C-alpha cells in the first residue's frame, strides 16, 4: 500500500500545509521542505517540471470531453471501455513495479470491499459523463463532472 499512500494527499496534510506547519509549505515560487534526517526546514524553488506536469494535466483533462464527443460512431459504453483500457495499460508498469518491489498487498475484507466499491463508482461516474455528452453540451458535462469535489466538500459542512 506504499504506492497509494505516497501518491495520496490526506485532508490533514492539506490543512497542515495551509497553516504552514506541514512537511511542505508553498509560498509563491519558494518551497520549504522539512527533511526527516535533520529535522530542519530547507528552502528551494519549485522545479519547472512541476509546472509542466500541472499544465499537461489541465490540458489532458480539458480535452477529454471534446475528444469523446468527436467519436460519433462508437457507443458510450465502448468509449469508456477504450478509456479504461488505455488507462490500465498506461498504469500497468507502475503497478508491476510496485508489486515487484513491495510484494502483493495484503488487504482486509473491508479494504477489498472499499476497493471494489470505489472502482464501481468510478466506472459509473465515467459512463455517466460520456452518456451526458449525448444530452448536453461538452462544457456543461465537464463543469458538472468536475464539480463533484465541490459538492462533496459542501456536503461535509452539513
Asked whether 114 and 60 are in contact (CB, 8 A), the reply is no
Distance between CA atoms of 59 and 67, rounded to whole angstroms? 12
8 A C-beta contact, residue 65 and residue 141: yes
CA distances from 65 to 57, 61, 75, 86 (A): 14, 8, 15, 16
Average pLDDT over residues 76-87: 82
Cell of 155: 456536503
The model's confidence at residue 138, banded by pLDDT at 50, 70 and 90, is confident
Pair 28, 105: CB distance under 8 Å: no
Give per-residue pLDDT as tens, 32-49.
554 455 555 555 667 788
Using an 8 Å Cβ cutoff, are 43 and 32 in contact?
yes
Amino acid at each position: 500500500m506504499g504506492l497509494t499512500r505516497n501518491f495520496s494527499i490526506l485532508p490533514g496534510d492539506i490543512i497542515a500545509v495551509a497553516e504552514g506547519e506541514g512537511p511542505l509549505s508553498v509560498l509563491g515560487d519558494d518551497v520549504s521542505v522539512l527533511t526527516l534526517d535533520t529535522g530542519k526546514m530547507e528552502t528551494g524553488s519549485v522545479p519547472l517540471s512541476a509546472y509542466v506536469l500541472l499544465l499537461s494535466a489541465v490540458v489532458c483533462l480539458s480535452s477529454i470531453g471534446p475528444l469523446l464527443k468527436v467519436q460519433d460512431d462508437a457507443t458510450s459504453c465502448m468509449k469508456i471501455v477504450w478509456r479504461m483500457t488505455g488507462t490500465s495499460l498506461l498504469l500497468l508498469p507502475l503497478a508491476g513495479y510496485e508489486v515487484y518491489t513491495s510484494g502483493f498487498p495484503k488487504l482486509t475484507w473491508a479494504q477489498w470491499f472499499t476497493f471494489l466499491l470505489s472502482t464501481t463508482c468510478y466506472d459509473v461516474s465515467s459512463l455517466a459523463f460520456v452518456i451526458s455528452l449525448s444530452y448536453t453540451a461538452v462544457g456543461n458535462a465537464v463543469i458538472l463532472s468536475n464539480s463533484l469535489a465541490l459538492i462533496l466538500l459542501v456536503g461535509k459542512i452539513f
